[in-house]
Structure 1
Amino acid sequence: MIAEEAVARYGFSPDTTVELLNVSENETYLVRDADLTAVLRVHRLGYHPPGAIPSELAWLDALRTEAGVRTPRVVAATNGSRVVTVADPAGGPPRDCVLFEFLPGREPREDNLVADFEPLGALTARMHQHARTWQRPPGFVRFHWDADAAFGTPAGPGRWGAWRAAPGIGPAEEAVLARLEATLRDRLRRFGSGPDRYGLIHADLRLANLLVAEGTGVSVIDFDDCGFGWYLYDLGAALSFVEHLPEVPEVIDAWTRGYRSVAPLSAADEAELWTFVLLRRLLLVAWIGSHASVDIAVELGATYSRGSCELAEKYLSTHS
């Protein structure tokens, strides 16, 4: 299989084991031998333009060395390559692969979000401060998470598909979510995309991409979706799949306290926090619709669409 072909490029011992961890956008594998435990990412096809994966790795390195953000180190192949392109033994197109060090820890627990989100807010602010001042290397390329990428244009759907194609979207649900999309587009336009509000972000700081370990704080993994977007979108992403919990207002307050302990957050920014929670939520509705074979999409299905309508109605009652 592709993963085993990739692992062969790293000089591991014959006793090395390769175990599938997850299939979502990419395939990830746990690689173990006597001297090293690592995580192999086999990239999906057609998601990134040339140069995007090395650009991701450059920011991941810079955050660790310049901003003190704990991120996984990239393990180079025996020929020094950080991105390994492997032929598909089954005859499909070649796949790009990256090997990362394995970082210990657990993802934040849903029953402890208030406590975990204050340090997460501070960590996010440090990442944003770094992004605002970092001199990106020549050839740096990452995509944008703007409104057109989220919702699409007349020429085609957004990056994760069309929310209208999600399970459970009938005429009533479509009417509510269409009002939500229109309001989000308008508020984002008015909010603007100046350099103080829009820049390089992780874009997927959900709980599964955070590792809490005793003595080392929070580690950030999986920068595969990093790109240019509104800084506050990182809060919306952090609340992925838990936006409905009754304690979320308290969680957002904790995140805001943590953020302000490192960097300013204006009243105008704070007024749009729920805009970015709902922006991410609608993106996830589209994602579920375009990833019908992924376990979490199957699990959430139409229930997530209906819950999104409830959140949208609540948001629209106070935001216009």
Structure 2
Amino acid sequence: MLRVHRLGYHPPGAIPSELAWLDALRTEAGIRTPRVLPATDGSRVVTVADPAGGTPRDCVLFEFLPGLEPAEDDLVTDFEPLGALTARMHQHARTWRRPSGFVRFHWDADAAFGTPDGPGRWGSWRAAPGIGPAEAHVLARLESTLRDRLGRFGTGPERYGLIHADLRLANLLVSDGDAGRVVSVIDFDDCGFGWYLYDLGAALSFVEHLPEVPEVIDAWARGYRSVAPLSAEDEAELWTFVLFRRLLLVAWIGSHADVDTAAELGADYCRGSCDLAEQYLSTHT
């Protein structure tokens, strides 16, 4: 599988850093990740000229892993083992000695929602389709509450570190191995530093509105606790990270109009985020 990296998304050194964590997760934590296939000169990241004269692109070639994306028709069953796998990744991240020069971006509140100096990494949620004055009022209250709660939650090393940041079903491959079911984790392009619980929010991308989500979150937490502890303070903020991701996805839809998924979700997803925001605000302000 050849990944042709987008332009201007990663700072220098970020792509080799991603590949270093992939290697470490596979060799040290037993997480199945794709191996990088080097070029004939041994390079793992190859910069390729654009035949049309545009900016050269960085490319990485990965091995093809077997398996299929888990189906969405039984999320409760899928999310308990996903919680356990996520905890194993977090345990590794907490203790891993990162190589010199390791660099990845952050998924903190400013990166998600922007600052007075500019929008967030995926743009501004205010620019998304379907966001009029009424929707903007609700989502502004949501952003303010999320920033407040996350500020009090803090970024101590037990809560904030290196995460996958896009650990949804589309980035898992399930196959049958000699020892039973094998789950592979792919697409670490967004991995970086953030709250560990953000990986739960990312796992629920685009399905946050389903009626079974409370049960799904309980299943994820059970799986997580089978490997690593979740404090009472952590559990009190699980929905905070679901809404954090949801608002970030609203911004993503607004800045990725040329992507099929964003076009299909469109204004309905953005307006529907207001209903989830109101439910969250009724219990978390």
TM-score (norm 1): 0.88
For residue 218 of structure 1, report the CA deviation from its aligned partner: 1.3
1:298 aligns to what?
263
Unaligned runs of 5+ in 2: none
User: Take 2:70 and 2:243, find their aligned partners in 1: how far apart are those partners?
Assistant: 21
1:114-143 deviations in whole A, cap 9, x for unaligned? 111100000000000000000000000000
Whole-Å separation in 1 of the counterparts to 2:174 and 2:199: 18
2:136 is equivalent to residue 174 of structure 1: yes
Q: Summarize deviations over 1:279-301 as a string: whole Å, max 9, x none.
A: 00000000000000100010000
Give, in angstroms, the shift of residue 217 of structure 1. Answer: 2.0
Equivalent of 1:81 in 29, 36, 43: 43
User: Equivalent of 2:52, from 90, 107, 111?
Assistant: 90
Higher relative contact order (CA 8 A, sep 6+): 2
Instruction: Tell me the CA shift for residue 55 of structure 1.
Output: 0.1
How far apart are the structure 1 equivalents of 2:229 and 2:30?
19
Indicate whether 1:280 and 2:245 are aligned. Answer: yes
| Residue equivalent to 1:313 | 278
Report what 1:57 is aligned to.
19
SS at match of 1:85: strand
Paired residue for 2:232? 267
- Does the Cα contact within 8 Å between 1:70 and 1:220 map onto a contact in 2? yes
Match of 1:31 in 2: none
Alignment partner of 2:65 out of 81, 103, 106: 103
1:110 deviates by 1.0
C-alpha distance in structure 2 between counterparts of 1:193 and 1:226, whole Å: 17
- Residues 240 and 281 of structure 1 are in contact (CA less than 8 Å); yes or no, is this contact kept in structure 2? yes
State the match for 1:211 in structure 2: 173
TM-score, reference length from structure 2 = 0.98
The residue that corresponds to 1:113 in the other structure is: 75
| Equivalent in 191, 200, 203 of residue 238 of structure 1 | 203
Separation in 2, partners of 1:214, 1:174: 46
What's the % identity of the aligned pairs? Answer: 88
Residues 121-180 of structure 1: CA deviation (Å, up to 9, x unaligned): 000000000000000000000000000000000000000000000000000000000000
Unaligned runs of 5+ in 1: 1-38
Larger Cα-atom Rg? 1
> 1:100: how far off?
0.4
CA-to-aligned-CA distance 1:14-72 (integer Å, 9 cap, x gap):
xxxxxxxxxxxxxxxxxxxxxxxxx0000000000000000000000000000000100
Cα offset, 1:203, TM superposition = 0.3
